[in-house]
Amino acid sequence: MRVLVDACVDPRVVEGLPGHDVKTAVDLGWQRLKDNHLVSLLQDRFDVLVTIDRGFEHQQNLKALRFGLVIVHVAKNKVEFYRPIFGQMQTAVAQVKPGQVLHVYSPPSDQA
């Protein structure tokens, strides 16, 4: 899968997605783009967007998206809060379909 990790996500999350072609928005110089412009760049270039932006799915016409959206819920945007859910993230990235949104939640014990 071709995966883009949004600029709002700790870029070290890439280590949790082995076996995929993963880029970060920062790698591509896209970190300052507004969501609507980012969406147009993602179409047909990526299969999945990984983000922590919970509003993204409500601000876009999901039916028009040609990529899937994985929204990760972590207590803090630090790689150590993602590591316990790397397996769930890997599964979500592999399963999400274009125009679909999958949520991945960290365990309640990590909400400190």
The residues, any chain, with a CB within 8 Å of residue 26's CB and separated by 6 or more, are 7, 11
Residue 61 predicted with pLDDT over 50: yes
Could you tell me the pTM of the whole model? 0.93
For 15-57, the pLDDT digits (tens) are 999 999 999 999 999 999 998 899 999 999 999 999 999 988 8
How many whole angstroms separate alpha carbon 50 and alpha carbon 67?
Answer: 11
| Separation between Cα atoms, residue 67 and residue 74, nearest integer Å | 22
pLDDT of residue 109: 60
Instruction: Please provide the size of the chain in residues.
Output: 112
Tokens of 87: 């397996």
